[in-house]
């Protein structure tokens, strides 16, 4: 079976978005039907980005506490077999004038990447199963950035400071689900992560850096290591990079590691073409 899923992974600042876009460019040139989903895509078919989850009890409580907004809450909620889902960021854009700040704060507390790890894992894996079932029936290649390795490691190790094997098991279970799509993993690294991260800082808005530093230093992983500021964030990133590299070695799948230190689009494209020739 031909590859139907290409996964682009690596630490922040290693060039994942650019690599994913180049991969799509190559597939377009080859005339192959494909679809690219970058990190943060609110319409991602397998992941949940800025989506809240509520149980039956939590949903009823939300409505009870916001009775005047009952019709609005029902309008923005999607019922699935596991419970109630609210794509709050996407809905906020559509109904910004109707979305009261207090209601928004109540919903955000139940973001899928803030709920307990085992529940997060259950919901994410179920969503991947739905995606795989649909993707198997299509003659299309999907390109995903970040969701395979980065997200499980973030929610388990960086957020909760679990043992690395807990995060690895999360990824192993996910791999078993996607094997039906004959996935290919392209993992990016850099010779100097500090240099590459400082380059990204110059390109991103200030709020992005503030959020990134806060997440790395004020979650369980950073607190347990007394990480502070940009220096602490970089130290944490290097440790996470070592953990990711260890995981990649253990994954039983088609995988390629690319050094992306050159920042040369032409060279990147040639490297990717050689990989895709092997797997497509």
Q: Report pLDDT digits (tens) over 115-135.
A: 999 999 999 999 999 999 999
Q: 242 with 146, same domain?
A: yes
For the chain, how far is it from start to end, CA to CA, in angstroms? 9
Q: How many domains does the chain have?
A: 2
- pTM comes to 0.94
Q: Distance between CA atoms of 277 and 280, rounded to whole angstroms? A: 6
Q: 135 with 189, same domain?
A: yes
Is residue 181 included in any domain, yes or no? yes
Q: 259 with 172, same domain?
A: yes
pLDDT tens digits along 136-163: 999 999 999 999 999 999 999 999 999 9
Q: 56 with 194, same domain?
A: no
Question: Domain boundary at 108, 127, 144, which?
Answer: 108
Q: What is the pLDDT of residue 200?
A: 87
Is residue 220 included in any domain, yes or no? no
Any residues with CB less than 8 A from the CB of 130 and at least 6 apart, and which?
none
Q: 190 with 262, same domain?
A: yes
Is residue 131 included in any domain, yes or no? yes
Residues 6, 186: contact at Cβ < 8 Å?
yes
Q: 169 with 102, same domain?
A: no
Is residue 11 included in any domain, yes or no? yes
Q: 242 with 194, same domain?
A: yes
Q: Tokens standing for 223?
A: 């607190």
Is residue 82 included in any domain, yes or no? yes
Residues 157, 164: contact at Cβ < 8 Å?
yes
Q: 274 with 162, same domain?
A: yes
Average pLDDT on 156-185 reads: 98
Q: 257 with 121, same domain?
A: yes
Q: Tokens standing for 84?
A: 């109630």
Q: What is the pLDDT of residue 1?
A: 60
Instruction: Tally Cβ neighbours within 10 Å of residue 64.
Output: 9
Is residue 218 included in any domain, yes or no? no
What distances in angstroms separate CA 112 from CA 30, 47, 190, one per listed residue? 37, 10, 30
pLDDT tens digits along 197-248: 998 898 889 999 999 999 999 999 999 999 999 999 999 999 999 999 999 9
Confidence of residue 260 (pLDDT cuts 50, 70, 90): confident
Q: What is the pLDDT of residue 45?
A: 97
**Helix/strand/coil for 219:** coil
Average pLDDT on 17-43 reads: 95
Residues 271, 18: contact at Cβ < 8 Å?
no
Question: Domain boundary at 60, 91, 108, which?
Answer: 108
Q: 174 with 129, same domain?
A: yes
Average pLDDT on 54-60 reads: 97
Q: 88 with 124, same domain?
A: no
| Domain interval for residue 98 | 52-108
The CATH number given to whatever domain includes residue 266 is: 3.40.50.300
Q: Is the pLDDT of residue 9 over 90?
A: yes
Is residue 229 included in any domain, yes or no? no
Q: 28 with 56, same domain?
A: no
Q: Is the pLDDT of residue 96 over 80?
A: no
Which of 12-26, 109-123, 263-277 is predicted with the least confidence, judged by mean pLDDT? 263-277
Q: Tokens standing for 211?
A: 């959020």
Q: What is the pLDDT of residue 105?
A: 93
Question: Domain boundary at 108, 130, 153, which?
Answer: 108
Q: What is the pLDDT of residue 112?
A: 98
Q: Is the pLDDT of residue 26 over 70?
A: yes
**Mean pLDDT, the chain, as a whole number?**
94
Average pLDDT on 69-86 reads: 94
Q: What is the pLDDT of residue 24?
A: 97
Average pLDDT on 248-262 reads: 94
Is residue 85 included in any domain, yes or no? yes
Burial of 216 (0-12, 13-18, 19+ CB in 10 A): buried
């Amino acid at each position: 079976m031909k590859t139907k899923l290409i996964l682009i992974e690596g630490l922040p600042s290693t060039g994942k978005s650019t690599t994913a876009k180049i991969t799509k460019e190559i597939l377009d040139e080859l005339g192959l039907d494909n679809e690219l989903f970058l990190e943060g895509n609110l319409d991602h078919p397998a992941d949940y980005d800025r989506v809240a989850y509520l149980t039956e009890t939590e949903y009823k409580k939300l409505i009870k506490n916001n009775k005047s907004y009952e019709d609005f809450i029902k309008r923005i909620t999607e019922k699935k077999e596991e419970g109630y889902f609210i794509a709050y960021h996407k809905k906020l854009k559509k109904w910004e004038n109707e979305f009261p700040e207090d209601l928004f704060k109540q919903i955000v507390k139940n973001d899928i990447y803030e709920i307990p790890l085992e529940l997060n894992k259950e919901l994410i894996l179920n969503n991947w199963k739905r995606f795989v079932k649909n993707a198997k029936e299509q003659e299309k290649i999907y390109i995903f950035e970040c969701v395979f390795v980065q997200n499980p490691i973030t929610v388990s190790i960086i957020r909760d400071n679990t043992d690395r094997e807990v995060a690895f098991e999360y990824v192993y279970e996910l791999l078993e689900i996607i094997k039906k799509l004959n996935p290919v993993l392209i993992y990016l690294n850099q010779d100097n992560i500090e240099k590459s991260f400082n380059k990204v800082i110059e390109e991103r808005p200030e709020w992005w850096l503030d959020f990134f530093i806060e997440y790395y230093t004020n979650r369980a992983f950073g607190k347990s290591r007394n990480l502070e500021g940009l220096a602490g964030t970089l130290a944490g990133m290097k440790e996470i990079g070592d953990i990711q590299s260890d995981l990649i070695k253990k994954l039983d799948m088609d995988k390629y590691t690319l050094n992306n230190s050159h920042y040369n689009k032409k060279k990147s494209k040639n490297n990717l073409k050689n990989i895709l020739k092997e797997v497509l």
